[in-house]
Amino acid sequence: MDLTVAGYMKELSEHRIAASRCNDCDALYLPPRPICPNCQTRKMSVERLSGEGTVAGLTSISIVPSAMAAKGYGRKNPYVTGVVALKEGPSLTARIELPDDGGEIQSRVGMPVTASFEAEVDGDETRVTLVFQPS
Amino acid sequence: MPKQKKRKLGRGVAIVGGAMSYFGMYPDKTSRDLMAEAYTDALETVDKGIDPRDIEALYIGNFTADLFEGQGHLGHIMADWLGLAPRPATRVEGACASSGLAFREAVMAVASGMYDVVLAGGVERMTNAPTENVQDYLAAASDVPFEVDQAAFTFPGLYAAMGTAYMARYGTTREHLMHVAVKNHQNGALNPRAQFNSSLRDIMEQRKKRAEEKGRPIPTWGDEFDFLSDDSVNPAVAEPLHLFDCSPVTDGASCIIVAAEEVAREYTDDLVTVAASAQASAGPFTTWGGDITGIPSARIAGRDAYEMAGVGPEDIDFAEVHDCFTTAEIMAIEDLGFFEPGKGAFGSAEGLTSRDSDRPINVSGGLKSKGHPVGATGVAQLQEVWTQLRGRAGDRQITHKDLRLGLTHNVGGTGGTSAIHILERK
Ligand SMILES: [Zn+2]
């Protein structure tokens, strides 16, 4: 794969989470990047991650951006998004689907979650986003 | 943290003038109108007066007039409108740290010997855009393909997620955050140019009075915390952040005139100099090694600033910090070394950051109450610290202690950019 934003998105569209590992210092990067900040090397190999991790931080958004308003989200229908620390080490930002049991949002930190791939068709284009569910 | 070599300015730099426009909602004013207000007021603050023709260059902080008002290329617009063309004018962009960076560029331009007198300004016009668009425009300061396109984060959402990580680790609650909002609104009540020039207690009483006048049931809030716990007046924005945890959308501008220390006495005998100027960058918080309970670039810039000034956090008399959200102020006071990690929330609740404390935080009202026209904020913070150090802050002047060193902490995005300055009264 290309170590570009488009390369990562193409992997996602094929239901894979791609990362890059530095051949010199072994550090693992998500999204995959072409240059290692640790040692400045450009010798990177691509690895695929499991999509299993834990919630590191999250929020329920009520004042929504226009793209989410167009999908029906808003004050009366907030959505949850957050940061997930994957078991391989790197973390990523993604939507999270939570059971609605009225718990305080911060009580979800540390919850184990698993990734699913959500396809969204917009005209000729299909965009795949990651959405995490409780494991 | 990578070790940096010790840095210093090539020559001393002083602030000789500074002002902010009234911050608030001004639908009829474009960014140039706001900037002209801040500039003309700044000229008036120069003790011995200044011939505007002494100004040799301009650095203008602005996040995105391109999106808010369809106007790019802001440097030359300001040079012309302030009557200073053909002097070189450079727009500086670092999201909400734009004018912290503009000030830093102005300081370095003077310290280099290139110029003796330089203007650093900042401006943002925001309130003319609909709320959803404001969320979109501000989100442009994040890592768009990943934080926005993938995760649908808004800016409050990013600081909310950091807040939950902090709350879960240290066992704090929304009530700790409320203390920050209550304190900063109390401070803003003393600042005539603040957008919210009233305490939360006053806002609460006004709402009660309005209900009474309209013959509606009078709310039974006992105190500010009751008021803030009522979702009907303090609705969720991005849990755990509610309306009064967030800085407002604001129109405003700010302006400072810096001069080489060796010529500064032509303008004033009451000198405040730049003891330190530091800046650091970072990737989005997914690159911070798993800890999102503080901002690494602020810690690094803070460390570099202390080293440059030859002081430590214990020497700072007061600070203006980037409280774009209540969670941000708590992280700021820890990142700057004023509190141990995990102690900032408890310290805030105990009043250790209030205006009569040993180290007052955000006596201007902060972004929270003073307002946050994003590109204007950094220079507005510096202007407050300069004014306080010279004892000219009127009703909100810190009087219970001598002021020698003041610090400004200006953050772009969620810490992609941090600019920290220490000012010293001579
Ligand atoms: Zn490496």
How far, in Å, CA of B304 to CA of B134, rounded?
34
* Residue A51 and residue A114 in contact, taking contact as beta carbons nearer than 8 Å: yes
CB contact, 8 Å: A21 with chain B? no
Confidence of residue B5 (pLDDT cuts 50, 70, 90): confident
DSSP-assigned states of every residue in B363-422: TT-HHHHH---GGGHHHHHHHHHHHHHTT--GGG---SS---EEEEEEEETTTTEEEEEE
Is residue B361 a contact partner of residue B321, using CB atoms and an 8 Å limit?
A: yes
The answer to whether residue A125 neighbours chain B at the CB level (below 8 Å) is no
Q: Are B62 and B94 in contact (CB under 8 A)?
A: no
From chain B, the residues in CB contact with A13 under 8 A are none
Whether residues B154 and A110 touch (CB distance < 8 A) is answered with no
Inspect the interface and report whether the beta carbons of B238 and A82 lie closer than 8 Å: no
pLDDT in tens, B168-222: 999 999 999 999 999 999 999 999 999 999 999 999 999 999 999 999 999 999 9
Q: Provide the β-strand partners of residue B246.
A: B325
Distance (Å) from CA A46 to ligand 1 centroid: 14
Cβ-in-10-Å burial (0-12, 13-18, 19+) of B380 comes to buried
B133 contacts in A (CB within 8 Å)?
66
Q: What is the pLDDT of residues A29-64, one digit of tens each?
A: 999 999 999 999 999 999 999 999 999 999 999 999
Q: Is the pLDDT of residue B2 over 80?
A: no
B-chain CB neighbours of A67 within 8 Å are 136, 152
Cα–Cα distance, B264 to B13 (Å, whole number): 8
Burial B301-311 (b: 16+ CB within 10 A, else e): bbbbbbbbbeb
Q: What is the pLDDT of residues B43-93, one digit of tens each?
A: 999 999 999 999 999 999 999 999 999 999 999 999 999 999 999 999 999
Instruction: Report the separation in Å between the CA atom of A88 and the middle of ligand 1, taken as the mean of its atom positions.
Output: 16
- Per cent of chain B over pLDDT 90 is 97
Omega cis (within 30) before B240: yes
Q: Provide CATH 2.40.50 ranges for chain A.
A: 50-135
pLDDT at B257: 98
How many whole angstroms from A50 Cα to the centroid of ligand 1?
22
CATH number of B13-129+249-425: 3.40.47.10
Substitution target from A10, A33, A105, A128 for chain B, most B beta carbons within 10 A:
A105
Structure confidence by residue, pLDDT tens digits, A48-106:
999 999 999 999 999 999 999 999 999 999 999 999 999 999 999 999 998 877 788 99
In the CATH hierarchy, which top-level class contains the domain A50-135?
Answer: mainly beta
Q: Do the chains contact at B286 and A106, CB–CB below 8 Å?
A: no
Residue B343: predicted pLDDT = 98
Average pLDDT of chain B, as a whole number: 97
pLDDT score recorded for residue B4? 62
E strand or H helix that includes residue A46: strand A44-49
Band of pLDDT at residue B384, cut at 50, 70 and 90: very high
Residues of B that are catalytic: 96, 372
Residue B159 pLDDT > 60: yes
pLDDT in tens, B251-305: 999 999 999 999 999 999 999 999 999 999 999 999 999 999 999 999 999 999 9
Q: What residue of B is the nearest CA neighbor of A85?
A: B290
pLDDT confidence bin for B3, thresholds 50/70/90: low
Check: CB of residue B260 under 8 Å from CB of residue B11.
Answer: yes
Q: Is any Cβ of chain A less than 8 angstroms from the Cβ of B171?
A: no
A28 Cα: distance to centroid of ligand 1 (angstroms): 9
CB–CB contacts below 8 A, A to B: 126
pLDDT at residue B1 in the model:
52
* Sequence-distant contacts of A112-120: CB under 8 A, at least 24 apart: A112/A52, A112/A53, A112/A54, A113/A52, A113/A53, A113/A54, A113/A55, A113/A84, A114/A51, A114/A52, A115/A17, A115/A51, A115/A52, A115/A84, A116/A51, A117/A12, A117/A15, A119/A13
The closest CB to that of B157, out of A5, A61, A89, belongs to A61
Query: Percentage of residues in chain B with pLDDT exceeding 70?
Result: 99
pLDDT at B270: 97
